[in-house]
Structure 1
Amino acid sequence: MRAEKKRKKKKRWKSIVFIFLLIIAGTLAYSYVQFKQGVSQSEEKIEKEKKIEIEEYEFNGDKDSYGGTNVLLLGSDAASEGKTRADTIMVAQYHPDKGTYKLLSIMRDTYVDIPGYGKNKINAAFAFGGPELLRQTIKENFSIDIQYYSIIDFEGFVHLIDEAFPKGVEIEVEKAMSARIGVSLEKGLQRLDGEHLLGYVRFRHDAVGDFGRVERQQKTMKVLANQFMSFQTITKLPKLIGVMTPYINTNMNTKDILYIGKDFISTKNREIETLRIPVDGSYDDERIKGVGSVLAIDFEKNQRAIHEFLTK
């Protein structure tokens, strides 16, 4: 009698395990199909318009010594003449043990030592040697280890926003904007398509200049992250990643992106902490011959601020 009960119990557990494995296999298959559908959807649109060239870059980054995963986020104008400088420089950190997401912005006119090239604006490092030289520059000047990079050019940004948010991105525009951004924006809460959102994050022709632009970039990243959560279910994440893939140049694979993104989407009211470098009271405006206007910073003060920000 006992032997028969054991056999039944063992058989029941085998059935449970089989069903569990079947669910996992089905989920993986569904995710893969959704991912490929997202890629195909974007590639079809690209073929109808203008092909975006994706260049492979060397990147020899290391995992953060404090246990976080740091990603170098770059925005560039690939359509500009001559060598492309990084228009937007951010370091995004995900810490799996703490469950925290942080965003560090480095202003492009920050005056730093670029390995092998001497002192220059930090965004020149990308033009001189791509994301790898920029990684080395950030490591040498700010002691940040960066494992991954992701680059999106302005054209790709427009496509990405239109694909991921067909109804537009809801954002509060704090003032009327039009100077040198190719579009006109009115003050107030509104839904912006890719072209108008790009204009919003690029605008800098006012009294606060690049400082205001960096604030808008961080604000927009937070808004985008929160509106990704409106999908409400992690099952839609694979397709979204597929939609993004043709527009982003990165050394991250799909597994890396899913690993970092799933916790954010599955957690309500997820906050993204932000920091801007240079921090207030740590820089002077200077003009350097052959370079132009730069931000001459107090490295000790900024390194201390970065350390506190990434480790707290």
Structure 2
Amino acid sequence: MENAHAPTYGLETKMKSLTNQDIRFSTAPMMDWTDRHCRFFHRLMSRRARLYTEMLTTGAVIFGDRQRLLGFDPAERPLALQLGGSDPLDLAKATRIAEPFGYDEINLNVGCPSDRVQNGAFGACLMLRPDLVADCVSAMKDAVDLPVTVKCRIGVDDQDPRTALFALCERVVAAGCDALVVHARKAWLAGLSPKENRDVPPLDYALVHELKRAFPTLPIAINGGIETIEQMRAQLEHVDGVMIGRAAYHNPELLLAVDPQLFGEPAPLPDGFAAVEAFIPYVEAQLRRGERLASMTRHMLGLFAGRPGARAFRRRLAAEAVRPGAGVETLLSAVDEVRCATQRIAETAEA
């Protein structure tokens, strides 16, 4: 199984535009979480979900280990790369570098409020500079034959959200942006931590719905506070897509409902137990390459959430997967905690 997707110039599968179905459901880019192991595991549970990488800065792409940073398993597709940066020339260069790896979309981060991006004057800071964002999008579009999208907030600090969001949207649409993903909260660049910025600012779904009515031909997805299939369905009455972050990460089995409930297609696997079995060949291949078991199983700790034995499953994986030489048997033993607990309950019910 090939883990690092080698560059393949002249791809025949490049997409020149995005449809509403392409963005109907996606998982959010999350630093330190949505690495290649996480994405491979998530892909097992949904064929249709659009997956996003962690944010990569333009500097990392231009000067770093490109194969390590940009390589991925072809099974992860459809896959979008999220870039962080504010210099149009650097973004264009990073986009050209990334294109031959086979990504289906390049996304510009205009929403992250962390100290790291503030120091670099990109991420959510760019909500204050919509003309610069438009220049970035235009440069990226000119550089490659791939969809270029933007993920943003509804504003930052004391900005009026409607004014800020509509100004940004107008400019990026004029620059050729293929889709917009809106985290329906403001970001506070001072006074709130990145974690607090995910929860404290109030959600304003209605504003994003208004934006869609104003830009009916632009594919628009909504992000923030959406945790259930029912909530996703409700949002899809107003916008083209939903993007889910922590809800899918902490409860991966939620992804098993995506294909049947949102696309009318069968789920790839019946349950979390089957997902583990399907993941094992990948885990074995990575272990042979020298990866540590914990690097993969840390993305599985939310599996079986709410089931009997789930706490023992998490505890066992967290304690034992980090040990030197830990292998697939550690994962299977942890899963047995759930199987045995479920069996005990069934036997008690029958008694």
Shorter-chain TM band: under 0.3
Larger gyration radius, structure 1 or structure 2: 1
Give the TM-score of the pair, scaled to structure 1. 0.25
Higher relative contact order (CA 8 A, sep 6+): 1
Give the TM-score of the pair, scaled to structure 2. 0.23
